[in-house]
Amino acid sequence: MFFLHKKMKILSCFILISLSSHIVTAQNSLITDRPDQTESPNAVAIGVIQIESGFQFQRSDLSKTKSEEQIAHPSNLIRYGIANRLELRLVTEYMSNTVYDKKSNEKKIQNTGMENIEFGFKYQFSQDQSRTILGFMTHLDIPIKNKKTNYQQYGLVSRLNISHQLSEKQCVGANIGYNNFSYIVNGSEVFSKNVGDLTYTLVYGQAISNRVGVYIETFGEYINFKTWEQNVDLGMTYLINDNLQLDYSFGLGINQVMNYHSLGVSFRLNN
């Protein structure tokens, strides 16, 4: 999941429960970072390419007079295992952003195009067989030359990721992270004056069968270490085979006006 908040980014989770019968041998399971906001601590195996794509519709309030509609068509996360428990990651998003006047519902701004690119890595500290797995992920947010659609910002998005297997069909996961960005104005680098944002996620996952998994999650961020934004979402995954998974998710703002729907597909190309 990639654009619930431009500072939250990336997006999503560890639904290894979709293969509950193989939960102990996680290296054989399709473990994805979508559809939830909790990043899995697991890295893909050496030589494996995993692609996670999703279409998402989101609506949120910008102010008392304006609201924003965002459509991802699609967002893509490409993961490639380069070493034992180490993967490279690339995120691309093709977005449509529309700002409305809330009173008249008139379109004020409408743009479509590529968003900033994210490039980074994930390292898995624990072995796949561990009941508790710890990982670390960081992304560099790189502006592209499309001033109409992207935020012309760059910086780092980092998270510490953890998952714990409660039983064969139940697991929990959490992330805690820190984001900070600089901004580009007329080709010059201008560092933002904020002190950065603290982010968190907490998810509970349950296997319904060997193919169907569901989850409920809370996530949010402490913006500039001054203002909390808190949200909740829930969703499900459906495993078609060992290398192909479909997903759906829905989210709401708790202390802000926001909602989204997302449909996605994830597939793995083994070496």
92-133 pLDDT per residue, tens = 999 998 999 888 888 888 888 888 899 999 999 998 889 999
Q: Which residues contact 120 (CB under 8 A, 6 or more apart)?
A: 88, 89, 137, 138, 139, 140, 157
- For the entire predicted model, the pTM comes to 0.85
User: Does the pLDDT of residue 195 top 60, yes or no?
Assistant: yes
Of 179, 180, 247, 187, which is closest to residue 211 (Cα–Cα)?
247
Q: For the structural domain made of 16-269, what CATH number should be given?
A: 2.40.160.40
Average pLDDT estimate for 2-22: 38
Instruction: Give me the residue spans of the domains in the chain.
Output: 16-269
Name the maximum alpha-carbon separation found in the chain: 56
Which of 6-15, 172-181, 216-225 comes out lowest in average pLDDT? 6-15
* Rounded-to-integer distance, Cα 259 and Cα 4, Å: 9
* Rounded-to-integer distance, Cα 224 and Cα 212, Å: 38
* Rounded-to-integer distance, Cα 41 and Cα 173, Å: 9
User: Does the pLDDT of residue 16 top 50, yes or no?
Assistant: no
Cβ atoms of 246 and 261 within 8 Å: the answer is no
Cβ atoms of 161 and 173 within 8 Å: the answer is yes
Token duo for residue 126: 């624990």
What is the rounded average pLDDT for all residues in the chain? 85
